[in-house]
Structure 1
Amino acid sequence: MEDPTANKSREFDEEALITEDEFSQQDHRYFDGRRMHKVSQPMRFKKHKEDDCYAPKMVSFGPYNHGLPQLRMVEEFKPKVLTMFVSSSGKDREFFYYMILKVIDQVRNCYVGVSIDVYDDGALAEMMLLDASFTIYLMKISMGDGEKYFHFHQHFGMATRSFAFRDMCLLENQIPLWVIELSINLIYGNKEEESMLLCNFLSYITFGDLRLTRIPGEDKKRPLHLLDAAYRLLVKEWDNEGKELVQPVSKCQRFLPWPWRKEGPNNFGIFNRQFRSVTDLKAKGIYFRPSSHCLKDVTFKSYIFFGQLQLPIQFFNSQSKLFFQNAIAYEASPGSDVGFSIICYINFLKSLIVKPEDVKELREKKILFSNLDGDEQVVQVIKEIDTCGIDFSTIFDEVKMRIEEHCSNKAKTWIAKLIHTYFRNPWTFIALLAATFLLCLTFLQTYYTINIP
Structure 2
Amino acid sequence: EATATATAEAEAPVSSWVVEMEKTIGEMHIDPAAEMARWKRHSIYRVPERIKNLHNSKAYQPELVSLGPFHHGDPELLPMEEHKRRAVVHLVKRSGRPLREFVAAVAEVAQQLQDAYKDLGDEWRGAAGGGTDRFVQLMVTDGCFLVEAMRMDALRGKVHEEYAPNDPVFSKYGYLYLWNYIQSDMVVVENQLPLLLLQRLLIVLDHHKYQVGA
Q: TM-score range by the shorter chain?
A: 0.5 to 0.7
Which of 85, 97, 105 is residue 79 of structure 1 equivalent to?
85
How much is the aligned-residue C-alpha RMSD, in angstroms? Answer: 2.7
Which residue of structure 2 aligns with residue 137 of structure 1?
Answer: 148
Identical-residue share of aligned pairs (%): 20
Q: Does 1:45 align with 2:56?
A: no
TM-score between both structures, scaled by the size of structure 2: 0.66
Which residue of structure 2 aligns with residue 112 of structure 1?
Answer: 118
Which structure shows the bigger proportion of residues in helix conformation? Answer: 2
Q: Does 1:147 align with 2:159?
A: yes
d(CA) in 1 for partners of 2:186, 2:72? 14
Which of 178, 185, 190 is residue 167 of structure 1 equivalent to?
185
Which residue of structure 2 aligns with residue 230 of structure 1?
Answer: none
CA contact (8 A) 2:113 2:196 kept: no
One-letter amino acid of the structure 1 residue matched with residue 50 of structure 2: P
d(CA) in 2 for partners of 1:151, 1:109? 38
CA 102–154 in structure 1, closer or farther in 2 if over 3 Å, else same: same
The gaps in structure 1 that reach 5 residues or longer are: 1-28, 196-217, 219-453
d(CA) in 2 for partners of 1:171, 1:185? 26
d(CA) in 2 for partners of 1:98, 1:136? 18
One-letter amino acid of the structure 1 residue matched with residue 203 of structure 2: N
How far has the Cα of 1:51 moved from its partner?
6.6
How far has the Cα of 1:160 moved from its partner?
2.6
CA 52–189 in structure 1, closer or farther in 2 if over 3 Å, else same: same
One-letter amino acid of the structure 1 residue matched with residue 91 of structure 2: F
Q: Secondary structure at the match of 1:35?
A: coil
Which residue of structure 1 aligns with residue 203 of structure 2?
Answer: 185
Aligned pairs (5 A) from 1:2-401: 32-45=40-53, 50=56, 52-118=58-124, 120-144=131-155, 146-147=158-159, 154-156=167-169, 157-158=173-174, 159-191=177-209, 195=210
Which structure shows the bigger proportion of residues in strand conformation? Answer: 1
Q: Which contiguous aligned blocks of 4+ residues in structure 1 show a shift greater than 4 angstroms?
A: 148-153
Deviations 1:391-445 (A, max 9, x none): xxxxxxxxxxxxxxxxxxxxxxxxxxxxxxxxxxxxxxxxxxxxxxxxxxxxxxx
d(CA) in 2 for partners of 1:182, 1:99? 6
TM-score between both structures, scaled by the size of structure 1: 0.33
d(CA) in 2 for partners of 1:160, 1:139? 12
CA contact (8 A) 1:46 1:52 kept: no
